[in-house]
Chains A and B, each alone.
Chain A
Amino acid sequence: MKCHTARRYFDDYLADRIGDQEKKTILEHLQECPRCREELDADRKLMETLRQEPVPDPGENYWHRLERTVFSKTIERLPPETAAPDSGQEKAVMRIYLLPLAAAFLLLMLSLSGISPSLTTAGREPIITAAPEADRSKIPSGICLTAPAAPSIISSLVTSLPGTGGRQMAIIDHLNNMNSKQDRP
């Protein structure tokens, strides 16, 4: 065995991780090679020196604390949808309170921007109508919608409100009634 090959096995030899045959070959080489003996001896001493520096045991309290810290860190880093077990409830609460508010705000904005019906102007048709385009065109005057998409926008906003279809229809009727009252002389 050559020195180069023998030295490749030194780690495994020192750690006692080689087979009997390889061990025998290395020992034979070491007997006849003083440089490799020196090399192996230096490696052994170095590893003994490095290993004499023990890793201290931080103690039972530390291990418990470590476990707790790891678990709390994993909770901190969970994505938001899995972090809160009642996130479904929160979404429901948002739907109940925020969507009607948003709808009201949008209605207000539409009204301010002029595409919403002006309920005070005489001769206006009901703002929310299911009447087809052809029928609407027959309405002679006072058409309140200045933007053709307004009824559908408002209808879709109302239908997005929580509740049953009946409740949504009631809101539409209510808005229509309000508009009709305003139109009366």
Chain B
Amino acid sequence: MQNDIKDLVKRFADGDPQAFAEIVRRYKTEIYRLAFRMLGNHLDADDATQEAFVRVFERQREIREVKHFPGFLKRIAVNYCIDMIRRKQKKFISVDDMSTSSDVQAELAELTAGPDENLENTEITSEIKGALEKLPPKQRMAISLHIEGYSKAEIADIMSCPQATVRSNLHIARKKLRKWLAKLI
């Protein structure tokens, strides 16, 4: 698998368009999930996913130097998500505005639950989203990656920081979330 990725990345660095298509196909779900966890809505997650791949494509020349491609790709995606969060925090866009603007998200919610369940789910979703959005970007990033099942070592690689920093970010984030989501826990 590791060699397979290396070969794929080498082909991409050599300018093989098929290799780039394969990279997009292989990592799109993972990047989308990560972006959705961090941004909390489909539209932004879609934007971040597209941008992550386009940015990787733009850095085709330096890709040969990259030691761990999946981490590199996720770092680009996550950094873009952080930029988006910061931009949104500056603009004071409300959670409701972001979530209701996505048709896809609304369709998905209707398909997966009945009306009563929908209402309850929406409330829980809104509580969780609200709590996550209150976190500073780095803590939000660490906890989002943690929710997605990444290990501390992987999170440290993606965030380009020591594991101790990840541990501290996770600890503070969890403490805050436990307080804010007390009635759900």
Bound-state Cα–Cα, A74 to B29, Å: 19
Per the bound structure, the CA–CA distance linking A58 and B102 in Å amounts to: 11
CB-defined contacts of A73 to chain B, threshold 8 Å: 50, 54
A28 within 8 A of B: no
Chain B residues whose CB sits within 8 angstroms of the CB of A42 once the complex forms = 178, 185
Question: Which residue of B has the minimal Cβ distance to A62?
Answer: B104
Q: How far is the CB of B152 from chain A (nearest CB, A)?
A: 6
Are A17 and B151 in contact, CB atoms less than 8 angstroms apart? Answer: yes
Q: What is the distance, in angstroms, from B127's C-beta to the closest C-beta of chain A?
A: 9
A32 at the interface (CB under 8 A from B): no
Q: How far is the CA of A101 from the CA of B128 in the complex (A)?
A: 68
Q: Is the CB of B184 within 8 A of A49?
A: yes
Contact of B104 among A43, A49, A52, A58 (CB under 8 A): A58
- Which of B67-75, B88-96, B142-150 is near enough to bind chain A? B142-150
Interface residue count on the B side (C-beta < 8 Å): 41
Closest to A82 in B: B15
Residues of B within 8 A of A46 (CB): 174, 177-178, 181, 185
Q: Which of B2-10, B20-28, B77-85 contacts A (4 or more CB under 8 A)?
A: B20-28
Query: In angstroms, how far is the closest chain B Cβ from the Cβ of A169?
Result: 44
Q: Is the CB of B146 within 8 A of A74?
A: no
Tell me the number of A-to-B contacts counted with CB atoms below 8 Å: 85
Known: A56-B105, A58-B104. A15 touches B53 (CB 8 A): no
Q: Which of A63-71, A116-124, A128-136, A149-157 contacts B (4 or more CB under 8 A)?
A: A63-71
B167 within 8 A of A: yes
Q: Which residues of A contact B54 (CB under 8 A)?
A: 70, 73-74, 77
- Residue pair A53, B185 in contact (C-beta under 8 Å): no
A96 within 8 A of B: no
Q: In residues 39-58 of chain A, which contact B (Cβ within 8 Å)?
A: 42-43, 45-47, 49-53, 55-58
A17 proximity list for chain B (CB < 8 A): 151
In the complex, chain A residues whose CB is within 8 Å of the CB of B146: 11, 47
Is the C-beta of A22 less than 8 angstroms from some C-beta in chain B?
A: no
Complex contacts, A2 vs chain B, CB 8 Å: none
Q: A11-B146, A11-B170, A70-B54 are contacts. A50–B46 as well, Cβ < 8 Å?
A: no
Measured CA separation A51–B24 after assembly (Å): 26
Chain B nearest CB from A155 CB (Å) reads 42
Q: Answer whether residue B49 sits at the interface, using C-beta atoms and an 8 A cutoff.
A: yes
Complexed CA–CA distance, A17 and B146 (Å): 13
Q: Is B124 part of the binding interface, using a Cβ–Cβ cutoff of 8 Å?
A: yes
- Report yes or no: A58 in contact with B124, Cβ–Cβ below 8 A: no
Contacts of B33 in A (CB 8 A): 55
A58 partner residues in chain B, CB cutoff 8 A = 32, 42, 46, 104, 108
Does A173 make an interface contact (CB < 8 A)? no
Measured CB to CB, the nearest residue on chain A to B33 is: A55
Say if the beta carbon of A12 comes within 8 Å of chain B. Answer: yes
B21: chain A residues at CB < 8 Å are 67, 71
Asked if residues B149 and A15 are in contact (CB atoms below 8 Å), the reply is: yes
Interface set of B (CB-CB < 8 Å, partner A): 20-21, 24-25, 28-29, 32-33, 36-37, 42, 46, 49-50, 53-54, 57-58, 104-105, 108-109, 112, 124-125, 128, 132, 143, 146-147, 149, 151-152, 167, 170, 174, 177-178, 181, 184-185
Given A56-B109, A63-B29, A67-B25: 6 more A-B contacts, CB < 8 Å:
A11-B152, A42-B185, A47-B147, A49-B185, A59-B104, A77-B54
